[in-house]
């Protein structure tokens, strides 16, 4: 690993120089901090020596004034083919920790370079319990080990998989690896690998104490079970009806979207974002486009920003309606899901009229949106915002005021605010625990600071409060849409930046150079300058972010997708422990997750 000169330097514009100066003053003299990196997103980014990683993480989590108690994300990058190092101590691989401080309203990114044959780091699972899955994912995708992790094994890929998918030398297309065959002996091996062995997870088969002696029961739910809302497998350890522990098994829906992003141009990856969470449409596209725009320095026109906000809130309502109806069904109320899917159909009809697509709109573009609002859009929107409030009144009487639902959810699956932060909860999961934290208010993007709305919060962090926050958010989204309707600005619907929009057609017919640029920009894609950027947004289920790395080409060198469902499903064993088996579906339903969002 080569350390280049002048790696420790002043922070770039937009970074919190106070935080950087504090960390440099504390760590710089003893060689712990090796570099301060300038990034396009303004997030303070520091490089740490491997042998001092644990001390540094512990300091910023617990000892620093106004500390960083949340591990927001943790992943890695294969640096072996990267050309633009910018004087940084980059090795063969980089592991990065994204931490967050609510007191500071600030992110901190810490990086560790790894080189040679010893690809390992100490585990941070004792500092942040949610590091469990993130470290297993890094091991699964990159082959980097975490010493001290109690159950370091593959997470998304099957145990028999060969290779590490996010390494640069791993194939990205099925056509690169030949025909996939599964002879009988291999089929038997894969079936044996699915057998659950409690000892592998540190679980006892038998309970022994001076008062009782009995065998635990292990129940398998999924991956084909209606209550898991997708291909999710849960193995529950039971003492009678009481849940002692749960082992989630994910990855059945994994498509390696982060790998796909490495072979798609910046523009052509937008349709893939719709498939991350297939219920929330443009809410998937927003963080990706914002991150690309930050990376490229593109300014989005005001009209395009408001269009984005309006359609985002429509898709937030559509996603919440799916959750609302299926959650009621999980509790035992079968009628609401039919009513709410009917209402969602009205939203998708509006989306179809505006975007041309429904569940997968492919509507946002780098620099704006695909096309301007069609004639008559305001009539469709006004009809909906006038009609929908009375439907919400009916649903609250039907579902939220139902005494059976309250019996099944109040006090069930309760989560403390401290645990929510420690496990990386965001969105309704976090707000249900009493913290009024919404990125649209705390760190506004796309002009959200211009809108008047409230942030619903709960008190107890239980299943009922998580449901209540969702229900109240429906009304706030409607409130934002009405403001978009009343104050839609005029002007262009997309930026004229050449990285975002092809040259105007009138110019291409007069100027050969413009025609060439038009052809290259459309067929080859824009070339973004080297750098890194990440913008987090408030999606329907929590915070979603795309951490993009450009190496100066038309492709992303590394795309890290942080989704809320991945973090939240990891919390299910904590919330379900001590509850009855019949309560498990209430806990799962209250989480509001989508398996494509978990597995990516």
Q: Count how many domains the chain has.
A: 2
Please spell the DSSP secondary structure of 522-558, one letter per residue. Answer: HHT-PPPPSEEEEEEEE-SSSEEEEEEEE-SSSBEEE
Residue 15 pLDDT: 45
Neighbours of 292 (CB within 10 A): 27
| Distance set, CA 553 to CA 262, 524, 531, 550 (Å) | 11, 10, 11, 7
Q: CA–CA separation, 595 vs 597, rounded Å?
A: 5
Q: CA–CA separation, 222 vs 232, rounded Å?
A: 6
Closest CA to 574 of 130, 191, 255: 130
Confidence tier at 2 by pLDDT (50, 70, 90): very low
Closest CA to 117 of 80, 144, 147, 150: 144
Mean pLDDT over 398-419 rounds to: 92
Tell me 76's DSSP state.
E
182 is a domain residue? no
587 is a domain residue? no
Q: How far is CA 286 from the centre of its chain?
A: 12
Neighbours of 319 (CB within 10 A): 24
Residue 132 pLDDT: 93
Residue 560 pLDDT: 94
Confidence tier at 185 by pLDDT (50, 70, 90): confident
Look up the CATH number of the domain holding residue 330. 1.10.645.10
Residue with tokens 């107890």: 460
Look up the CATH number of the domain holding residue 35. 3.30.460.80
Confidence tier at 9 by pLDDT (50, 70, 90): very low
Mean pLDDT over 526-551 rounds to: 92
Q: CA–CA separation, 563 vs 500, rounded Å?
A: 26
Please spell the DSSP secondary structure of 280-349, one letter per residue. Answer: STHHHHHHHHHHHHHHHTPPPPHHHHHHHHHHHHHHHHHHHHHHHHHHHHHHT--SHHHHHHHHHHHHHH
Give the domain-ending residue among 147, 166, 182: 147
Residue 210 pLDDT: 66
Is residue 327 domain-shared with residue 467, that is, in the same domain? yes
Give the domain-ending residue among 147, 170, 195: 147
118 is a domain residue? yes
Is residue 261 domain-shared with residue 142, that is, in the same domain? no
> Would the pLDDT of 30 be above 70?
no
Among 206-220, 239-253, 394-408, 445-459, the minimum mean pLDDT is found in: 206-220
194 is a domain residue? no
Confidence tier at 111 by pLDDT (50, 70, 90): very high
Structure tokens at 72: 């927001």
> Would the pLDDT of 523 be above 60?
yes
Residue 34 pLDDT: 79
350 vs 9, more confident: 350
Confidence tier at 149 by pLDDT (50, 70, 90): very high
pLDDT exceeding 90 applies to what percent of the chain?
Answer: 54
Q: CA–CA separation, 585 vs 329, rounded Å?
A: 10
Closest CA to 267 of 353, 173, 351, 367: 367
> Would the pLDDT of 114 be above 70?
yes
Among 7-16, 373-382, 410-419, the minimum mean pLDDT is found in: 7-16
320 is a domain residue? yes
Confidence tier at 357 by pLDDT (50, 70, 90): confident
- Beta-carbon contacts of 489 under 8 Å, excluding residues fewer than 6 positions away, are 302, 303, 306
308 vs 28, more confident: 308
Residue 5 pLDDT: 32
Confidence tier at 7 by pLDDT (50, 70, 90): very low
**Exposed, middle or buried: residue 372 (CB in 10 Å: 0-12, 13-18, 19+)?**
middle
75 is a domain residue? yes
182 vs 443, more confident: 443
599 is a domain residue? no
Q: CA–CA separation, 21 vs 8, rounded Å?
A: 11
pLDDT averaged over every residue in the chain: 88
> Would the pLDDT of 465 be above 90?
yes
Give the domain-ending residue among 129, 147, 165: 147
Span 493-505, pLDDT tens digits: 888 887 777 777 7
519 is a domain residue? yes
Domain residues for the domain of 392 are: 257-562
Q: CA–CA separation, 243 vs 84, rounded Å?
A: 51
588: region left, alpha or beta (phi > 0 left; psi from -120 to 50 alpha):
alpha
């Amino acid at each position: 690993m080569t350390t280049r000169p002048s790696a420790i330097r002043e922070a770039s514009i937009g970074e919190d120089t106070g935080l950087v100066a504090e960390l440099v003053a504390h760590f710089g003299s003893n060689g712990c901090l090796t570099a301060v990196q300038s990034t396009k997103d303004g997030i303070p980014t520091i490089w740490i020596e491997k042998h001092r990683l644990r001390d540094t993480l512990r300091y910023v989590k617990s000892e620093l004034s106004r500390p960083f108690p949340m591990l927001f994300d943790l992943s890695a990058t294969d640096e072996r083919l990267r050309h633009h190092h910018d004087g940084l101590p980059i090795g063969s691989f980089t592991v990065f920790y994204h931490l967050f401080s609510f007191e500071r309203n600030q992110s901190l990114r810490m990086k560790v370079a790894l080189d040679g044959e010893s690809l390992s780091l100490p585990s941070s699972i004792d500092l942040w319990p949610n590091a469990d899955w993130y470290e297993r994912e890094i091991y699964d995708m990159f082959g980097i080990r975490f010493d001290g992790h109690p159950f370091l094994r593959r997470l998304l890929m099957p145990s028999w998989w060969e290779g590490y998918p996010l390494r640069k030398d791993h194939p990205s297309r099925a056509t690169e690896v030949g025909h996939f065959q599964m002879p009988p002996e291999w089929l038997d091996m894969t079936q044996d690998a699915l057998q659950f062995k409690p000892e592998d997870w540190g679980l006892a088969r038998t309970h022994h104490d001076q008062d009782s002696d009995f065998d635990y029961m292990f129940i398998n739910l999924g991956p084909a079970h209606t209550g898991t809302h997708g291909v999710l497998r849960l193995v529950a350890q039971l003492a009678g009806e009481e849940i002692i522990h749960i082992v989630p098994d994910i990855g059945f829906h994994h498509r390696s979207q982060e790998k796909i992003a490495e072979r798609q141009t910046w523009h052509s990856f937008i349709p893939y974002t719709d498939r991350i969470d297939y219920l929330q449409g443009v809410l998937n596209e927003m963080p990706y486009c914002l991150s690309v725009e930050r990376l490229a320095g593109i300014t989005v026109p005001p009209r395009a920003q408001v269009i984005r906000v309006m359609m985002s809130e429509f898709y937030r309502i559509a996603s919440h309606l799916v959750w609302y109806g299926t959650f009621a069904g999980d509790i035992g109320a079968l009628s609401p899901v039919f009513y709410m899917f009917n209402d969602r159909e009205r939203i998708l009809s509006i989306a179809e009229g505006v975007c041309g697509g429904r569940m997968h709109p492919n509507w946002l573009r780098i620099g704006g949106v695909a096309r301007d609002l069609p004639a008559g859009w305001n009539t469709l929107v006004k009809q909906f915002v006038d009609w929908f409030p009375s439907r919400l009144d009916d649903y609250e009487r039907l579902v939220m005021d139902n005494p059976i639902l309250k019996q099944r959810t109040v006090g069930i699956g309760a989560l403390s605010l401290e645990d929510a932060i420690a496990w990386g909860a965001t969105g309704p999961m976090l707000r249900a625990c009493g913290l009024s934290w919404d990125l649209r208010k705390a760190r506004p993007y796309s002009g959200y600071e211009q809108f008047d709305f409230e942030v619903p919060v709960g008190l107890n962090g239980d299943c009922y409060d998580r449901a209540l926050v969702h229900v109240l958010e429906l009304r706030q989204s409607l409130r934002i849409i009405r403001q978009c309707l009343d104050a839609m600005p005029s002007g262009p619907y997309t930026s004229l930046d050449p990285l975002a929009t092809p040259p105007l057609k009138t110019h291409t017919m007069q100027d050969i150079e413009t025609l060439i640029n038009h052809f290259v920009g459309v067929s080859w894609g824009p070339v973004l300058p080297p750098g890194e950027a990440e913008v987090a947004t408030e999606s329907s289920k929590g915070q979603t972010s795309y951490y993009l790395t450009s190496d100066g080409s038309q492709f992303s060198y590394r795309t890290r997708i942080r989704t809320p469902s991945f973090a939240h499903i990891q919390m299910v064993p904590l919330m379900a422990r001590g509850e009855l088996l019949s309560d498990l579906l209430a806990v799962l339903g209250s989480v509001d997750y989508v398996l494509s969002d978990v597995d990516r």
